[in-house]
Structure 1
Amino acid sequence: MNKVLKGLVAVAASAAMAIAGMFGAGTAMAVDTYRITVPESDTHTYSVYQIFTGSLSKDNTLGNVTAGKNFNENNGAGEGGANLTAAEAAVKIAELGSTADDTTKLATISKFVDLTGVAFGSVSKDAPLDAAAGYYLLKDSTTVTGDDASTLFIVRVNGPVTVNRKADKPTFEKKVKDINDSTDSAATDWQDSADYDVNDNVPFQLTATLPTDPADFAAYKTYKLVFHDTQSAGLTFNSDSVVVKYGDKQLNDGSYTLDTPATDNHTFDLTIADAKSVKDTDNQAITVAAGGKFTVEYTSTLNENAKIGAEGNPNEASLEFSNNPNVGGEGETGETPTDKVIVFTYELDITKTFSDNGNPAVNDLPKFKLYKYNNDTSAYDTDLGEVTVTKGPDGKYTTSYKRIDDGKYKLVETHTPAGYNTAADTLFEITAEHDIDSTDPKLTALKIGTTEGNTTTGVVATTIVNQKGSNLPSTGGMGTVMLYVAGVAVFVLAGATLVMALRRRNA
C-alpha cells in the first residue's frame, strides 16, 4: 500500500483520504456502480467487506457517507469507548493522512469493519464484482497454506478498480560444500552435491531470504522462521556444530531454539520465534530488514550406513514462515517446498590374482593398506586401514574399501603369501562428476584412472598380481655330498684301526 486513503468525505465535512495504490483503472458499469476485478495472474479469491457507502466525486472523494453492510457499529473508537457513527468514523480515518504506515492505518480501519458477519461479496480473476461507490476491505477468503502468503488487507475507496495483491514471502535454499583433501584442501562454493569418505564431517547451509518488499515485511509485528531439516541414515547430525547468522552477525543462543530430534520426525527443527527481535553474541540487538538473509550452518558425519553409488545420501530441508501480516505473524504460517542436496560416496574393489594360478593357504592370504594423498602435506599419509583378501565361492580372491571419496590413492601390499613376491605399490586416482546445481542432483561419471566405474553401484575396480617366487639354483651339488660321506667313512675306519692296534698292544 504505497498510497493510502486518497479521499473520504464525511456528511458534515469533506476530508481527503490517501489510499493504497493497489488498484488500477477498471470499467464503470453504471452511475455510482463500479467493477472490481482481479488480474489473471492472481489465483486468490477475496472476500469483500463494505465499510461505507456514499457518492464518489471525480477526484475520488467519497461524500454523503453512510454505514455499509459490514460497518461495525460497536466500534468503541470514540472518547471513553463510545461508538462512532459511519460519518464520524470516516473523519477519524481521514485524519490518518498519507504518512502513516499500512499497519497503523489498518489498526484504525479494522475497528470499523465487522469481519465476523457475511461479507458483502467476493471477487476473483474469474468472477469480478460490481459494487456501489464506497469504502471496502478485501481479504483472502480462505486460509493461505503452503508456499504462499496472505495478502495484507486491501482497503480502497471504490471506483472502477483492479486488485493489486500485496503478499510477499521469503525464499529458501539448502546447500552443501565439497572438500577434496587429496587434490585441493580448499572447499568448493555452496552447491547441491558433494562426495566424502566415511567419518568425514560434511558442511551444510540453510538460507532464508526475507520478503524483499519493505512495506510487506513492515506489516508483520513479528516474523517467525522455522528451519526443518531431515537427513538420511547415512548422515549423523552434529548438534554442537550449529551456527546461526543474520548477514555476518552470529545470533546468540537466546535468539533461537534447536530441537533434535524434532517431534515431527525431522532430524532437527531450528526456530527463530521472531526474526525482528534477534541479538548477536554480545547481546546487542540486530537490525533486520526486508531482503535480509538468515543462515544456519552445521556439519553431519558420513557414517557406516551411508549408501554407496547413485542413490547417495540425501539431506532435505524446508522453511516454515509467517504468512499472514494481518495477525502480526503469530500462529499462521506457510512452508516452502523441500530443497534437497546429496552426498555421494564410493567403493574400491580389489581383485588379487597369482601368476601361477596358485592357491595360497587360507591363513596366509594377502593383506593391503590404502593411503590417501594429503594435499596439505604433499604425501600419501592418510591411512584408511588394512584389509585382508578373502576367497569367494567363485574361487576369486577379493577385498574392498567401502565409502571412500574421489582423490589420489596408494595401495600397499602389507602381507604376501609364502612363495610369492610382494606386489609393487599401486598409485591411482578416482574421479567423479555430479550435478552441483540441480533440484535433483545425480552422479554422472565415475572413473579409476581412465577406466570407467559403475555410477549405479558406485564401484571402481583394480587388479593386483602376485608373481610366483623363483626356484633359484644353489652352489655345490651331489659331489659335495659324496665328499661328506667319504670323509665320514675315513674317520670311522681310522677309529676302528686305532682300536684294533690298542687291543694288540695290550695282548
Structure 2
Amino acid sequence: MRLIDTTTVGNPNTAKLEYSNQILPGKDDTDTKPGKDSIEDNAVVYTFKLQILKRAEKADGTPLQDVEFDLYKEVSEETINAITGVEAKNVGLDSRKYWLKINTGSLKTAGENGEVSQPGLANGTYYLVETKTNKNYNLLKEPVKVELKIQYTTSMTETWNWTPDSDGNKKLVKHTITSSKTTFTENETNSTGIHTETIINKQGFELPITGGMGTVLFSIAGFALMAGAAFVLLKGRRKDA
C-alpha cells in the first residue's frame, strides 16, 4: 500500500468534556462546591477527492478544456437546498428522489490534462451532470454514476495522560495522537485517496446556419433534383405524344 498523498488531508477533531465531581448522597454539601474534571480526546477523519479527466472520442484521446460539470448526491427530503421533481428531471436525475448539488461553483476542466477536481467527499454514490461542452461535441445524454469506495488504515503513535483520583485510582485526562501514517486502497488497489473518473465526449454535427454555405449547398442540390424530375416528366410526355 502507498503512503498518504499530500493532496489528501485528514480533518482533525478534538473533543473536551468537562464534568462536575459527584456529590455523594447523605453528605452535607451546603457549604461545598463540587470540583470540575475534564477529559480530552482527538481523532482524524478523512475525506477524499474526485478527479475528472475530460477526453475526446476515447479514454486516451485529446484532453478537452472548458467542459463544465455539476456533482450531485442523493439526500433525504429534509435536506436544505435539495432538488426534486421537475428540477431533478431537467438535469437528468430521478425526479422521485431528492438531490443536493455538492459543488458551489461550476466544475470546469482546464490545463493540458483537461481536468478538474472536487475535494472533501465522503465515500458514497455521486452523479456527474455535464452542463457545457466544447463546440462540435455532444453533451452527455445522462449523468455519470461515480462510486467512492476508498478504504484507509492508519497506524499512529499515541499518548495517554493519567492522573490519580482521591482514592488513588488512575483517571484518564487526555488522549493525544502525536504522529500517524495512513495508507489507502480502492477496490483492492493502491490509492492516494483520489478517485479518478475519465469522461469521454463524442463529436456530433450541427445543422447549417441559416444563410450560410450549408444552406446554399442544400438549395443547389434541391434545384438539381427538381430539374432532373422535370426533365424526366417532359421526356415521358413527348414519348406519349
Structure with higher RCO (Cα < 8 A, 6+ apart): 2
- Which TM-score applies when normalising by structure 1? 0.26
